Structure 1
Amino acid sequence: MKKIFITWLFVLLPVAAFAAGGGGYPLDHVETDVSDKASLQRGAKFYMNYCAGCHATQFQRYERVADDLGIPHDLMLDNLVFTDAKIGDLMKNGMIEGEAKQWFGAAPPDLTMVARVRGTDWLYTYLRTFYLDPKRPWGVNNKVFPDVGMPHVLLELQGGLIDTCAGDAEGQVDTLTGEKLCGLVSDPEYKGSMSPEEYDQAMYDLVNFLDYSGEPMQLERQKIGIYVLLFLAFFFVVAYLLKREYWKDVH
């Protein structure tokens, strides 16, 4: 009994520590829907135009993405593939790892599984919390990933944000307590091409696409799961009737 108690103690302690020490910037929740092909198509567009130059998704192929998202192969090659890759090739890029490490401090990671590793809430919040920081090499920082080495490649869409919590940045003041209210606010001198609502929707589409990339079989897996449960339910009835037939003479 004592050994069992000690075993459970070692199992539960890390979980409790993780729950108690989660900390960090609060994440915004997002409900992705990989059955929404229109959203996935928009997400693929944002990914290929703004992310694929540095990040690969080398564990999936252009052909699979085109087929799953309902994009004709010729349109995929003409509008979303900017290299000489063929439709059946893996989604790699031409960035050399050594040079990337020199430019950014670390080679940009592959994003095929990023939604499963980081979580969709983390990604959605991360992509929306870049802010201007002249002290950083690329002129930006991030609330979710402080001192991030990645430039804000979506700056032209979102525009510049100011962190009113930092230093002498101007922010609103609570009229009751007089305390400074801090957060991320738009820089009126650095406007983006999208409104905040449009940018949030664009980041939802991008995260939705990355969620799909992490497990393209999600929808098929769910359908197969339903069939498996129906089969088990049917087999349970057959097994019960068979058991009753075998044991009727015993009783």
Structure 2
Amino acid sequence: MKRWIATGLLALSALLGAHTAVHAAGTNFPMDKAPRLTNDQAALQHGAKIFVNYCLSCHSASFVRYNRLTELGLTEKQIKENLMFTTEKVGDPMVAAISPQQAKAWFGAQPPDLSLVARSRAGHGYSGADYLYTLLRGYYRDPNRPTGWNNVVFHNIGMPHPLWELQGERKPVFEKVDSHGHESEVFKGWEQVKPGLLTPEEYDRTVADLVAYLEWMGEPVKSSRVRLGVWVMIFLGLFTVVAWRLNAAYWKDVK
């Protein structure tokens, strides 16, 4: 009996240890709330354009085919003329321009597929969209890194800043605070070092559009599923009323 109890306690400790390890692997940096734009067609179209021009050179989205973008209000002609650079068939998946061998040689590892990145990056108290929105606005120059870039959300990130021309260069501002005799640094904000092609407000909106597209890409039918679910609930509510009144009519003469 004692052996079974000891085994159970060991399994529980392992489970709690795994949970702690997963939590520790996450980020402690506070996440900004990403604007919810998955129902904004213009934002999704702009996000698709940003993705193709700035992300698809290294990252694939192999679970999504180009012709799926017609669901965003684009025609196949518009897709072929403006969004297709790595293939000629509109029915092909969105595959990165760089080869896996080149990517591994340049970055040390193959860049991950981004088809489901918005769904896989959710954490404790924040969504995957919040994580990506904060990450893409958290880059700063770091001469100690091989790529010259670092990130306040993902420390020692291997990916260089893909949108640096749009955002420019910034540096984080930290303030030293004393807490119970221990000195630590608290993030206070950003200082613009070099301007980008966009203003800070324009850049934030661009990132929001890109994140909305990444979120849509992870589940293109989400909006339709939600709308269908609302109609199903309305139908069930009305059917419940009808069934209740019908039941009352059947049993009104039964004593």
Partner of 2:35: 31
Secondary structure of 1:141's aligned partner: strand
CA distance in 2: counterparts of 1:17 and 1:136, whole angstroms: 28
The correspondence for 1:235, drawn from 207, 215, 239, is: 239
Taking the TM superposition and a 5 Å limit, the aligned residue runs for 1:1-251 are 24-65=28-69, 67-118=70-121, 119-165=128-174, 183-187=189-193, 190-251=194-255
CA distance in 2: counterparts of 1:182 and 1:131, whole angstroms: 14
After superposition, the CA RMSD in angstroms is 3.0
Identity %: 44
CA distance in 1: counterparts of 2:186 and 2:216, whole angstroms: 41
CA distance in 2: counterparts of 1:240 and 1:69, whole angstroms: 42
CA distance in 1: counterparts of 2:101 and 2:234, whole angstroms: 52
CA distance in 2: counterparts of 1:114 and 1:244, whole angstroms: 52
Give how far 1:225 is off: 0.9
Give how far 1:87 is off: 1.0
Partner of 1:176: none
CA contact (8 A) 1:59 1:112 kept: yes
CA distance in 1: counterparts of 2:80 and 2:27, whole angstroms: 43
Secondary structure of 2:245's aligned partner: helix
Counterparts in 2 of 1:53 and 1:181: CA distance versus 1, 3 Å: closer
Count of aligned residue pairs for this structure pair: 229
Counterparts in 2 of 1:73 and 1:240: CA distance versus 1, 3 Å: same
Give how far 1:162 is off: 1.8
Counterparts in 2 of 1:236 and 1:137: CA distance versus 1, 3 Å: same
CA contact (8 A) 1:32 1:207 kept: no
Give how far 1:212 is off: 0.9
Give how far 1:99 is off: 3.0
Give how far 1:247 is off: 3.4
Letter in 2 for 1:227: W
Q: TM-score, normalised by structure 1?
A: 0.81
CA contact (8 A) 2:66 2:93 kept: yes
Between 79-88 and 203-212, report the one with greater CA deviation. 79-88
